[in-house]
Structure 1
Amino acid sequence: MTTTSGSAKWQGGIKDGKGAISTQSGALNDYPYGFSSRFEGKAGSNPEELIGAAHAACFTMALSLILGEAKLTAEHMETKADVTLEKQGDGFAITSIHLMLNAKVPGADKATFEELAGKAKTGCPVSKLLNTKITLDATLQ
């Protein structure tokens, strides 16, 4: 079992307040986030982009494992995760995540690549955690 952590601090109200996000590894250390970075496109981070980064990283690592089990090795993989946040009733909900993978995998044909990418989409730990619609576009170069 492995346990890692992230943390957040907050001061003030929802619109005028400010926060800071940190990770155990130090990749983020009091990185700013707030209402304006979440909803108004201002500088800073937000929970949705962090979920997207975590999901993209987890999926890509899972696919690397699955490719290796199929005796394939990626020369290059790049995954982007678009996380959709929508207003629902009195609040907000993450309603979907769309993964976009672009990869170069010598020796892989399109059908095998799509099958293995699909296994990674459903099998990575972050996908298992999230209870939302997750879609995937996988492009083999």
Structure 2
Amino acid sequence: MTTRTGSARYDGLGKDGKGRVSTQSGVLNDSPYGFGTRFENEPGTNPEELIAAAHASCFTMALSFALAKAGYSDGTLETSAKITLDQKDGGFVITKSELDLKASVPGVDADQFADIAADAKANCPVSKVLNAEVSLTHTLNG
């Protein structure tokens, strides 16, 4: 079993509050977040972009391992994720994660690739934890 940690601190309340977020690895270390970074493009991070990065990296790694298991040994996978945050019932909810994959895997059949990618999308741990629509578009360069 693997356990990873992150932490957050918020000083002040509501729009006037300022937060700091850190990760166990130290990649994020007291990185700023708050209303301005979430809704107004101020410098810093926000939960949705962290989820987008987590989903893109999780899916890409799952696909990489699935392609290796299928016998492929070379290639490049580049994924972006777009998280949608909507207002609902007086609050906010993440409704969608759109994965967009650009791939180059020499020798892979397009149909086989699509099947392997769809399975990776459905079964990467971050896809499974999201209670939202998860979509995938991909471009395969032979």
TM-score bracket for this pair, using the shorter chain length = over 0.9
Letter in 2 for 1:40: E
- Whole-angstrom distance in 2 between the partners of 1:2 and 1:43: 31
Q: Distance in 2 between matches of 1:75 and 1:116?
A: 14
Q: In structure 2, what residue type is equivalent to 1:139? A: T
Runs of 5+ unmatched residues, structure 1: none
Aligned to 1:15: 15
Structure 1, residues 27-48: CA drift from partner, whole Å, max 9, x if none? 1000000001101121110000
Q: TM-score, normalising length from structure 2?
A: 0.96
What is the CA distance between 1:90 and its match in structure 2? Answer: 0.9
The residue number in structure 2 matching 1:4 is 4
Counterparts of 2:86 and 2:74 in 1: how far apart (Å)?
35
Cα distance between partner residues in 1 of 2:105 and 2:44:
35
Gap runs ≥5 in structure 2: none
Identity of aligned residues (%): 55
CA gap 1:29/1:113 in 2 versus in 1, 3 angstroms: same
Match of 2:56 in 1: 56
Count of matched residue positions in the alignment of Structure 1 and Structure 2: 141
The answer to whether the 8 Å contact 1:6/1:22 transfers is yes
The alignment status of 1:33 with 2:36, answered yes or no, reads no
1:126 and 2:134 equivalent? no
Please tell me the root mean square deviation across aligned C-alpha atoms, in Å: 0.8
Q: Distance in 2 between matches of 1:96 and 1:74?
A: 31
Shift of 1:88: 0.7
CA distances 1:108-135 after superposition (whole Å, capped 9, x unpaired): 1211111110000001011111111000
Distance in 1, Cα, partners of 2:22 & 2:134 = 26
For 1:34 and 1:91, locate their aligned partners in 2 and report how far apart those are by CA, in whole Å: 16
TM-score normalised by length of structure 1: 0.97
Q: Aligned partners of 1:43, 1:109: CA distance in 2, in Å?
A: 43
Q: Distance in 2 between matches of 1:74 and 1:17?
A: 47
Over 2 Å off, 4+ runs:
none
Alpha-carbon distance in structure 2 between the residues aligned to 1:130 and 1:52: 11
- The alpha carbon displacement at 1:74 in A equals 4.2
